[in-house]
């Protein structure tokens, strides 16, 4: 990775893209520290002093901007939600399915729909947060102040969506993913400061810190192996004679990733599991709150075990669900058959579909177990060790490693394309 970055920095065009990307991330971090006007900071700090349920996920993606209620408090979560909705609509509605198959023009139309939906969702979330959750934190809650805050939050989220697309066009890597990556990395100093306080207070020893570093390195290695893991399905194309020329006859493969679903199953499962915790925030001191805290909260007893079991079950379910959406064995088999391709030893048609489905199910099982372990183990560690205030856990680590690998891969592809262009000239 360092070798790739070093080579990319020596190329003027690539260096300009890297600098542009870093400047956009700097703008994002500056905006994440500009507070929304008219907010009582002391009350805001009190609000986020304990369990905050689903808001932990929002705060993770915003790099702390949500808990500080800055102009980027909504982060790019409306855009992520809109993207997921549009992807699901391609399965449920023929119109979106047709757009997905129309190539560049269809993708352009879907991207436009996603933008409009993102703005609408940002507006709805801004209204809900301003009138609902943060209402008591507003110093002077009149109509003008409310409208001002709603407009600022909506504009901030829309600006981040534009910022991500600018990085896609003029920078390096996926802009939206890099914004999430920047927010997570920005929390590392907070984690280091928390660990130093624990060491000074005698809660942690130097040996424990060394063990944490070693375990973290091992986890990163496992995450990289699983993220890069691919099952290659061999495909042979038959020879065809067209006129006086012969086509086909080459061998290739279908790359099926072990973790095809990425981090999406963890996000979906986390959203569902922490929804009851979010509801308890609005009803403090009730029997419902006591029940959820004891039986469904990762800090409760036996809630931590119930939470862990439900987390594993939901992640496995969403892994299968999202993989089926992104990889359709029937479509792949039909495309191979139309182009004269076949899997050696497997008959074209239904036999190929069943073979691909069987391989996909096995990979889903391995990928689901991996995601469940990454998401669940930090919860148990936080509960039974002094490391209960770490700034990020398994989900953050998976996002960071995935984005880093994807960005380096894009850099390598750009340099490879540049070498091809130079050779052709």
pLDDT tens digits for range 322-379: 888 778 888 888 888 887 788 888 888 888 889 888 998 898 888 888 888 877 776 6
Looking at residue 251, what is its pLDDT? Answer: 77
Please say if the pLDDT value at position 212 is more than 80.
no
* pLDDT for 391: 43
pTM score, whole prediction: 0.75
CB 236 within 8 A of CB 344: yes
Q: Which two tokens stand for residue 175?
A: 């802009």
Let me know how many helices (H) and strands (E) the chain has, helices first: 17, 5
Better-predicted residue by pLDDT, 23 or 220:
23
**Helices 394-424 and 12-31 sit at what angle, rounded to 10 degrees?**
150
Averaged confidence pLDDT in the chain: 79
Task: Specify the CATH architecture of the domain 1-173.
Answer: Orthogonal Bundle (1.10)
* pLDDT at residue 152 in the model: 93
Residue 419 — pLDDT band, cuts 50, 70, 90?
low
- Interatomic CA distance for residues 151 and 280, integer angstroms: 28
Please check the confidence at residue 2 and state whether its pLDDT lies above 80: no
Q: Enumerate the β-bridge partners of residue 70.
A: 35
**For residue 422, pLDDT beyond 60:** no
List the single range of 216-230, 286-300, 304-318 with lowest mean pLDDT. Answer: 286-300
Which pLDDT belongs to residue 389? Answer: 47
Q: What is the pLDDT at residue 1?
A: 67
Cα–Cα distances in Å, from 231 out to 7, 97, 187, 234, 364?
Answer: 30, 27, 35, 10, 12
Whether 198 has a pLDDT exceeding 70, the answer reads: yes
Higher pLDDT, 177 or 383: 177
3-state secondary structure of 219: helix
Rounded Cα distance between 90 and 205, Å, is: 52
pLDDT in tens, 110-151: 889 989 999 998 898 888 778 877 788 888 888 888 899 999
CA-CA distance, 102 to 92, in Å (whole number)? 17
Quickly state the pLDDT bin for 158 (edges 50, 70, 90): very high
Q: Does residue 424 carry a pLDDT above 60?
A: no
Task: With H, G, I as helix, E, B as strand and everything else as coil, classify residue 229.
Answer: coil
Average pLDDT (185-203) is 77
Chain Cα centroid distance, residue 32: 19
Residue 241 in this model has a pLDDT that exceeds 90: no
**Domains in the chain: boundaries:** 1-173
- What is the pLDDT averaged over residues 63-88? 81
Average confidence (pLDDT) over 264-289: 73
- 3 state DSSP class of 138: strand
Between 174 and 243, whose confidence is greater? 174
Which is more confident, 162 or 325? Answer: 162
Q: Is the pLDDT of residue 7 over 90?
A: no
User: Which range has the top average pLDDT, 47-61, 134-148, 154-168, 262-276?
Assistant: 154-168
Classify residue 374 by burial, with Cβ atoms within 10 Å: 0-12, 13-18, 19+.
buried
Mean pLDDT (whole number) for 145-161 = 92
Alpha-carbon gap, residue 309 to 295, rounded angstroms = 12
pLDDT tier at 154, thresholds 50, 70, 90: very high
Residue 246: per-residue pLDDT: 57
What is the arithmetic mean of pLDDT over 269-288? Answer: 72
């Amino acid at each position: 990775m360092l070798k790739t970055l070093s080579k990319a920095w020596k190329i003027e065009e690539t260096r300009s893209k890297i600098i542009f990307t870093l400047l956009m991330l700097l703008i994002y971090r500056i905006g994440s520290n500009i507070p929304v006007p008219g907010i009582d900071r002391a009350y805001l700090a009190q609000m986020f002093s304990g369990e905050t349920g689903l808001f932990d996920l929002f705060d993770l993606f915003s790099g702390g901007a949500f808990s500080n209620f800055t102009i980027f408090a909504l982060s790019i979560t409306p855009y992520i939600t809109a993207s997921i909705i549009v992807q699901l609509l391609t399965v449920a509605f023929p119109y979106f399915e047709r757009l997905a198959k129309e190539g560049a023009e269809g993708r352009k139309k879907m991207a436009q729909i996603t933008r409009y939906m993102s703005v609408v969702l940002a507006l709805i979330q801004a209204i809900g947060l301003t009138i609902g959750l943060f209402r008591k934190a507003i110093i002077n809650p009149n109509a003008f102040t409310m409208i001002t805050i709603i407009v600022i939050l909506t504009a901030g989220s829309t600006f981040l969506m534009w910022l991500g697309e600018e990085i896609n066009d003029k920078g390096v890597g996926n802009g939206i993913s890099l914004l999430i990556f920047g927010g997570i990395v920005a929390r590392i100093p907070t984690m280091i400061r928390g660990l130093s306080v624990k060491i000074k207070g005698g809660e942690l020893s130097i040996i424990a810190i060394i063990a944490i570093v070693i375990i973290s390195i091992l986890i990163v290695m496992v995450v990289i192996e699983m993220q890069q893991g691919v099952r290659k399905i061999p495909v042979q194309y038959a020879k065809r004679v067209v006129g006086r020329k012969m086509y086909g006859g080459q061998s290739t493969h279908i790359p099926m990733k072990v973790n095809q679903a990425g981090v999406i199953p963890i996000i979906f499962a986390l959203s569902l599991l922490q929804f009851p915790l979010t509801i308890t925030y609005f009803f403090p001191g009730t029997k419902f709150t006591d029940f959820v805290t004891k039986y469904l909260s990762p800090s409760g007893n036996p809630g931590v075990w119930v939470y862990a079991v439900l987390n594993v079950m939901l992640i496995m379910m969403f892994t299968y669900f999202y993989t089926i959406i992104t990889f359709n064995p029937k479509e792949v088999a039909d495309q191979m058959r139309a182009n004269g391709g076949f899997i050696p030893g497997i008959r074209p048609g239904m036999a190929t579909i069943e073979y691909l489905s069987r391989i996909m199910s096995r990979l889903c099982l391995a990928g689901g177990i991996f995601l469940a372990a990454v998401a669940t183990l930090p919860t148990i560690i936080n509960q039974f060790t002094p490391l209960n205030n770490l700034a990020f856990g398994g989900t953050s680590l998976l996002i960071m490693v995935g984005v880093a690998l994807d960005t380096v891969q894009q850099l390598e592809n750009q340099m490879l394309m540049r070498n091809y262009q130079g050779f052709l000239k």
